[in-house]
Structure 1
Amino acid sequence: MSERVAAVDCGTNSIRLLIADLVDGQLVEVDRRMTIVRLGQGVDATGTFAPEALARVFAACEDFASVLESKAVSRIRFVATSAARDVSNRDAFFTGVQERIGVQPEIISGREEAELSFRGATTSLDLPAPYLVADIGGGSTELVLGNSDGLIAAQSLDIGSVRLTERHVTTDPTSPAELAAITRDVDALLDSTTVALAQARALIGVAGTCTTVAAVALGLPQYDRTAVHHAHLSADHLRQATTWLTTSTRTARSAVPSIHPGRVDVIGAGAVILQRLFNRLDLNELLISEHDILDGVALSLA
């Protein structure tokens, strides 16, 4: 027996949809898509969703609703993460999504976000344990340490590609002073984490920042999900990609087909988070996974 389910993940920068058949507790992918909506636009400064950001989300929801209907999905789970935790006008977001998708969004905690990311990223992987999953989003970064038995420790940190870019970056290219300010914020929160990073014997990077950095590091002529999924990035490849992403101009980044236009402005700050985290681990490489919280949400419907 199988059941067709759908997961929607609305984050600070993007909204994503996964439709899959659940077969014996495993996912068989039917459709996966992503739209950059920048829901977190200005949230760090204003504490509210901007009207134009909500409009972008609702337009994407209308597109998703058509796909969901055509694929005959039986159950849907819609989760919202960092940006939606921080705002005063979340009711407008709830109502708009309910009207278009037909389900009420769930604002999940940082802990649950971490657990879902871990489950999605590590299903069917054979890695030395414990392993650390890093989900670098637009508004927050989830760190999860665990093994085949489950979680050992998890924490959500308020550092993300959109949040740090809006807070610090005003020049093009990013100035050394701005880059130093981003690095200070990242290091301060990594210093404070309760997750025992030194225990990690493998690092798995998930979500758009990590997959985009991987595409740049691999020199892909265009984004190729198959090439990125389970790619191993050496320390040198990561460092070279981070250096270029943080020192290049917006025009130069825009000319790289493997960087989604919606990530061009914020990928530098996201790369800093990944690099500073990697620097704290006694590892020679990291593994990139295209499976993440979206897969975890779908699996939670089993």
Structure 2
Amino acid sequence: MKIAAIDLGTNTFHLIIAEQAESEMKIIYKTNKPIKLGEDITKENKIIPTAFERGINCLKEFKATLDQYGVTKIRAVATSGVRSASNGKDFIDTVKEETGILIDIIDGEEEANLIYEGVKYSGAIQGKSLIMDIGGGSTEFIFCDKKGFYWKKSFDIGAARLMQKFFKSDPISLEDQEQIKIHLKENLAELIEFGKDFGATTLIGSAGAFETYAEVIDPAINIHEIPNSLIDIDAYHQLSKKLIGSSHQERSEIPNLIPLRVDMIVMASMITDYVLAELNLKTIILSTYDLKMGVLQKLY
């Protein structure tokens, strides 16, 4: 039997198809499209018409691929970009009408649950850890170990949302950076309070920006073939300093930094820096498995 998961993120739509055997699940197709559904979403809290159209056209392509592979079981989930938009339901209804794909709008708690399941499947969780999934609209945090999770929460501090609110200079000014740090401190107080008591030493980055960190630091890495990988923390700090201090043009010339992330990686780096410093985390591990793998796991 063939199963599939679709993850409608604020920036990127993902499709993953697996073949379900008795004892294992084999990935047979995987793709993502930079849809930018959350483009300008902070202005009127709406999916703008051009983004709406991009999303519909992408899902038409996904439907053709699902039919081509003969997928019999599918779950499509939408996260912050759709759930926070005033016309999110209109988008869901249009997708159903034009493609037949039924989309579940999941809340932040279920999103965190699915991320945990995906990361756990990657084998990245060894001891007390903090999983962080930096999306476009929201960022999820999960304190966990191999036995389970102990605290989880989704915050509306995604990279696209922060960029639209604070990124007003190029390179980003010290003043804008300070405003972001104040915003993070105000919004993440609960996370930091729990984290200091929990005592995690490892930050597990769930795909996305962390894949970019890994690929820029080590161009030889193939993130499509590994479930997890250690990211050298000193190399990360050097990269973060470079990303935050560089202009859009300078970042666009960095190998393995995809166009979608050229600016948002600055916001992702600032979130990562803040959490590493506040919780005194010593190790970074990339999990290439994330929410969409968690969705697949639940279907399996």
CA-to-aligned-CA distance 1:256-275 (integer Å, 9 cap, x gap): 23111111121100111112
CA-to-aligned-CA distance 1:153-186 (integer Å, 9 cap, x gap): 1000111110000001122111111122122212
Asked if structure 1 preserves the Cα contact closer than 8 Å seen for 2:215 and 2:256, the reply is yes
CA-to-aligned-CA distance 1:220-269 (integer Å, 9 cap, x gap): 27x83247752212321121111111111111211223111111121100
What does residue 98 of structure 1 align with?
96
Q: How far apart, in 2, do the equivalents of 1:129 and 1:236 lie?
A: 21
What does residue 244 of structure 1 align with?
242
Q: TM-score, normalised by structure 1?
A: 0.92
Q: Aligned to 1:17, which of 7, 15, 18?
A: 15
Unaligned regions of 5+ residues in structure 1, if any? none
What does residue 272 of structure 2 align with?
274
Q: CA RMSD in A?
A: 2.0
CA-to-aligned-CA distance 1:97-117 (integer Å, 9 cap, x gap): 213442221110101000100
Q: TM-score, normalised by structure 2?
A: 0.92
Asked if structure 2 preserves the Cα contact closer than 8 Å seen for 1:114 and 1:155, the reply is yes
Q: Which is further off, 188-197 or 27-36?
A: 188-197
How many angstroms does 1:292 deviate by? 0.3
Q: How far apart, in 1, do the equivalents of 2:22 and 2:287 lie?
A: 22
Q: How far apart, in 1, do the equivalents of 2:90 and 2:128 lie?
A: 41
What does residue 205 of structure 1 align with?
205
What does residue 149 of structure 2 align with?
151
Q: Does the C-alpha gap of structure 1 residues 124 and 89 become closer, same or farther in structure 2, counting only changes over 3 Å?
A: closer
Number of matched pairs: 298
Runs of 4+ residues deviating >4 angstroms: 226-229
Asked if structure 1 preserves the Cα contact closer than 8 Å seen for 2:77 and 2:104, the reply is yes
Asked if structure 2 preserves the Cα contact closer than 8 Å seen for 1:97 and 1:103, the reply is yes
Q: In the alignment, residue 111 of structure 1 is paired with which amino acid?
A: E
How many angstroms does 1:124 deviate by? 5.2
How many angstroms does 1:24 deviate by? 4.1
Q: How far apart, in 2, do the equivalents of 1:117 and 1:90 lie?
A: 22
Matched, 1:88 2:86: yes
Which runs of structure 2 are paired with 1:57-96 in the superposition (5 Å)?
Answer: 57-96=55-94
Q: Matched residues, percent identical? A: 30
Unaligned regions of 5+ residues in structure 2, if any? none
Q: Does the C-alpha gap of structure 1 residues 226 and 114 become closer, same or farther in structure 2, counting only changes over 3 Å?
A: same
Local SS of the residue matching 1:171: coil
